Every structure is written in structure tokens, then in C-alpha cells.
Amino acid sequence: MAAKERKIPAPAVTLETKAYWDAAAQGKLLVRHCTACGEKHHYPRTLCPFCFSDRTEWSEGSGRGTVYSFSIMRRAPEPYVMAYVTLAEGPTMMTNIVDCDFDTIKIGQAVKVVFKPTEDGKPPMVMFTPA
Ligand SMILES: [Zn+2]
């Protein structure tokens, strides 16, 4: 099954996530980490979801990860792939797998980040493609 381009709605940007989306617009994937307990998390939050500390900071991720799980949405007008990708840095994020033959995607497969333009312009959506 081939990937067709589909319209992607722009993400909702909040004060808490603005830096994340600004970085995405520059082709960088940021990961939020906690200086109190050392854990990294996604989606980005000011309060650490592990220890509830507010001592959290941004760091630049490698953009590398592996497919944890995925599902091909074959009945959508433009079929697409929903997936959980575990980043090399540790957190697992919900995303899409794009720019590949969907039938070749496998759990555990190495993927790399790509930034896809959204319907309403910036910021782009964070997605992954086979590495
Ligand atoms: Zn913490």
C-alpha cells in the first residue's frame, strides 16, 4: 500500500509547548527532561510526570527511534499509519509513519524523524520514516 499525501491539521501550540514547535519548525526534535530525577518524557510538560518536579529542561533529541506498535488506517480517505515510536532517548511518542510502503513496516524497525508541513502552515507535525 503506497503512501499518498494527506492534509495534516496544524498542532495546537500552548505556552508550555511553544519551544517544542518552534524547534520542529527548524527541523529539530526536542525532548523534555527532568534535572531532579533524570527521567525524560514526552509529550512535553513543565511538571515531570515521574516525580512532579518543576525542574524540567529542553534537550535536543537524536531524531532516532524504533517502532513500538503501529496500525494502518486503511479505511481513511487517505490511508495513513498511526504508531508509537520509542525514541533513542527513552520516551515513547504517538506519531505517524510516513514516506514508505506501509506493508513493510515492522515492530522494532529503526525510524528517523521527519517534519511534515501542516494544512495551516507552521509549525510542522513530527513524524517518522524508516531509517
Ligand atoms: Zn522528575
Q: What is the DSSP string of 61-120?
A: --SEEEEEEEEEETTSSS-EEEEEEEETTS-EEEEEE-SS-GGG--TT-EEEEEEEEETT
Q: Tell me the average pLDDT across 92-121.
A: 94
58-86 per-position pLDDT tens digit: 999 999 999 999 999 999 999 999 999 99
Query: What is the predicted pLDDT for the residue at 62?
Result: 97
Query: What is the predicted pLDDT for the residue at 122?
Result: 76
- How far apart CA 73 and CA 51 sit, in angstroms, is 36
Mean pLDDT of the chain: 94
112-123 per-position pLDDT tens digit: 999 999 987 779
**Residue type for 14, please?**
T
CA of 56 to the centre of ligand 1 (A): 7
Q: pTM, whole model, 2 decimals?
A: 0.92
CA of 88 to the centre of ligand 1 (A): 19
- How far apart CA 63 and CA 106 sit, in angstroms, is 18
- How far apart CA 69 and CA 62 sit, in angstroms, is 20
CA of 58 to the centre of ligand 1 (A): 13
CA of 9 to the centre of ligand 1 (A): 32
CA of 104 to the centre of ligand 1 (A): 37
CA of 94 to the centre of ligand 1 (A): 21
The helix/strand/coil state of 21 is helix
State phi, psi for 87 to the nearest 5 degrees. Answer: -70, 155
- How far apart CA 26 and CA 124 sit, in angstroms, is 9
CA of 17 to the centre of ligand 1 (A): 18
